[in-house]
Amino acid sequence: MDQKFPFYTLEMQGVLDKLQTKLDGLSDQEAAERRKLYGYNELTDKEGVSPVYIFLKQFADFLILILLIAAGVAWYAGQRVDVYVILGVIFFNAILGFLQEYRAEKAILALKQMIKQQAMVIRNCNTHPVAARELVPGDIIVLEEGDSIPADARLLSLKNLQTIEASLTGESLPAEKQLTPLPLNTLLGDCSNMLWKGTYVARGTATAVVTATGSNTELGKISGSLSSIKKTSTNFRKKTERLAKQMATIAIFASVVVFLIGYFVRGYAFDEVLLITVASLVSAIPEGMPAVISIVLAIGAKRMADQQAIIREFTATEMLGSVSVILTDKTGTLTQSILTVKRIYLGDGSEYEVTGSGYVPEGEIRKQGNVVVPADDVVLSKLLFIARVCNNARLHNSTAVQQNCASPEVSGDPTEIALLILAKKAGADNYLSLVQLDDLPFNSDQKFRATAVTLNNKHELLSVGAPEKILDLSTHILTPDGAILLSHEVKQQIKDRMNAWGDEAIRILALAYKPIEPLDGELTAEDVQDLVWVGITGITDPPREGVQEAVAACKSAGIRVMMVTGDYKKTGAAIAREVGILHKHLPENNYPEAVQEDDLAVDDNCFEKLVNNVAVFARVSPGTKLRIAEHLQKQGHLVAMTGDGVNDAPALKRADVGIAMGIRGTDVAKDAAQIVLSDDNFATIVRAIREGRIVFQNVRQSSFFLLTTNFADVSVFIVAIAIGWPFPLTATQILWVNLITDGVMELGLAAERGHGNIMAQKPVPRDANILDKSIIPYLLLMSSIMLVLALSVFAYYLPQDIALARTGAFIVIAMTQVFNAFNMRSLERSLFEIGFFTNKYVNLSFIVSVALQLVVIYSSFLNDIFRFEKMPLTDLIVLFILCSSVVWVAEIYKYLSFYRGKAAKQKVILPA
């Protein structure tokens, strides 16, 4: 049987015939045979991410290739120690990256639901629970309020059925279901006679026949389609590859120059020149760069995790700093995905505001800013009574919630939950003598629900429904003085208020009642008439706390925020205005503030214009979300996509940075994303972006440090050889300098925190190189100081002893580089401004580096191995003071380059 057949087009019997089943269900034997044919009802297991694959992935880097070549050269030259050092660095980098990504995968799995889903199924003519994974096409399932739908299914019977399909369609309101066959090619969101895996029942009961399981469900199709979406190389990897090529080119060129001058110009022995050349190459090639980059990323990932952002893809840590566009979903991302009553308008013209949000029944009812006591207002008390009693929603752990012991758990229709929470906020919850006589659930034809009750020997019919319907059925209106006739003028006032709220995308419910006699039979729709109008409630899906500030922070950081949602255009635009995505500064043109799927059926040229000029895209399909992301990427933007639903998954994977919600997000969305927000808070993105910018800054400053030190090292060799002097350092001394400078100090730089208002800067350009021309003046200045000091000290001690001269050169080369690390903490800000002790890791690295220098010089065992001479203590102190000059020269350079220019810009010229 074809699980892709459009079952929504068939009558009930036609569906049963097509699936070769019956209302009594399959037998256990038939189900077992079909399970062998179709497999289990589950998506591809994403929990089996291979640790071996994660580890091997760490070696896919150009820098690693360069280091392996360097190791090969060192092996050829007989430098086994160098080979082991290089290989150790490579494996250290791989292990660090592996631990971070593997830990992230484990954290994601911890966020997923571990409860095994059950389903009520009719088998062998009996209804009993089975594991949802064991369902097969043709199974008859029984559903009731609150059930998660375990597979795609065609409805066979129902009673007042509504389902929540936000995770699949993006629609935040319940979808009402019916049995009538539908035309071919009906859109998924409009297939009202079908149920979809991954959604759940909000209200009512139903039986349905399973039409598709596992990867053949709509959820499974989206999950499977992710594998066909090409994931391009990350932007950060491209940058690090360019960095590797740049630094490798510089290193190889410099080493070749050393060899050519030493062998062909000065005629040194081939073996000696080759040894020095290999040492220079190993020193100049940034073998520590992969490890430093990994450490910087790991520190950034740790800081982001502290901010509730779990990094699944290592390089996404830095890429956030370059994000220039965020495509965000609305429901559950910008909003709480929790309907909340925010306004009340009574029949007597009184209007109230309701504070609080979410399912926690804490808040106040206010009138003109003042808190009101509901018991003092007859009309308000009546509205709250109706909201509480004409309601089938449930709050299961209210006691625990009030004691702050647990998160609230609710069940029922979202609008009824909103009314329930409203009543509980006001304390309208204690009706011990209340007896419910009958209940008439809501349906789309009657557009209301009703409940008949008895309280204190009074019989009443309570009703909640669409405001225009309830208004038509009302003949009286409740006032503080009792019920009076509903006049045409008052009706018009109510309609005006309803229209005003509607323009703000507020969902409106009307509440009314009437006295009745005791019921003789069941409550029917015909009983709901001649009502007494009480008032209306305004229900919203409120923005998450901090979202408005987060959007504003994104804009100040030069990041464009766009809403891409499956909800209605009017609703999306209203939320966009509330959180600040829509504002007065949109481009001055004729483009609307919001468009929907139908408006986007245009050619690429028009589509691109819409993408560039519209901020809200509503009722869009997963394919359109993907198309929007791709158009922005073609324009050079680095795109972050947020979302929590299955329908978000393709764009999450295609985006440069996919950000999924960890609590409400579906597993498909989490698996497609690179970052998961464990608190589901859009505001967390802003904090993560700041950390991403710091990561890029630290990678750049660490790279500048390596380039400056390596360039200075090679310059000393080239100049010394050109003059005709002996080599200033031996091969082993070169490698030791490399270890105690590059290998130690750069670790401290990796932990540097951001300075200044980094979020006031524009995003790092997508094509920005880590290594750029901004380092050239600083590179020449620092290298010149290091070169002059090293050669001067070498020349001073050379007449005394070559070993002593090399010891002096070693101290100068090492210490100038160590001091230079303090300069590299910020290329613009003074060390006095950012503070000498604000990065304890740099200070610790400084102490370790100096200690290693002293040990190798003054330890009898080590100075014999490295051929150093013990330097007199007074000479050592003088050399240390001379080396510190790089800090003071850098401070002068920063003042002249940045502070003086900044002061000139801020200078105010007064009129004459």
Point out the residues that are catalytic: 329
Give 812: exposed, middle or buried? Use CB within 10 Å, 0-12, 13-18, 19+. Answer: buried
> Residue ranges of the alpha helices (H) in 448-517?
467-473, 488-503
- Cα dihedral 714/734/707/819 (nearest 10): -110
Distances (CA, A) of 651 to 111, 465, 629: 21, 37, 7
Write out the two tokens for 203.
């209200």
Cα 463 from Cα 786, distance rounded (Å): 86
**DSSP class of 405:** S
Cα 276 from Cα 331, distance rounded (Å): 64
> Any residues with CB less than 8 A from the CB of 232 and at least 6 apart, and which?
none
**DSSP class of 656:** S
Nearest to 52 by CA among 8, 87, 101, 2: 101
> Any residues with CB less than 8 A from the CB of 811 and at least 6 apart, and which?
793, 853, 857, 871, 876, 879, 880, 883
Nearest to 243 by CA among 197, 301, 288: 288
Q: Degrees (nearest 5) of the Cα angle 254, 257, 258?
A: 90
Is the separation of the CB atoms in 324 and 612 below 8 Å?
no
Nearest to 704 by CA among 206, 250, 71, 173: 250
Phi, psi dihedral angles at 104 (to 5 degrees): -65, -40
3-state secondary structure of 130: strand
- The interaxial angle of helices 270-284 and 80-111, nearest 10 deg, is 20
Distances (CA, A) of 660 to 64, 231, 309, 648, 675: 31, 17, 10, 9, 6
Sign for the pseudo-dihedral over CA of 9, 13, 18, 24: positive
Cα 256 from Cα 251, distance rounded (Å): 9
Write out the two tokens for 846.
């400084």
Report which residue type is found at 131: A
Beta-strand pair 448-455/458-465: antiparallel
* Euclidean distance between the first and the last CA atom of the chain, given in angstroms as a whole number: 90
Cα 557 from Cα 321, distance rounded (Å): 10
Bridge partners of 681, per DSSP, are none
Nearest to 898 by CA among 826, 834, 836: 826
Phi, psi dihedral angles at 378 (to 5 degrees): -60, -45
Nearest to 310 by CA among 104, 110, 106: 104
3-state secondary structure of 355: coil
3-state secondary structure of 816: helix
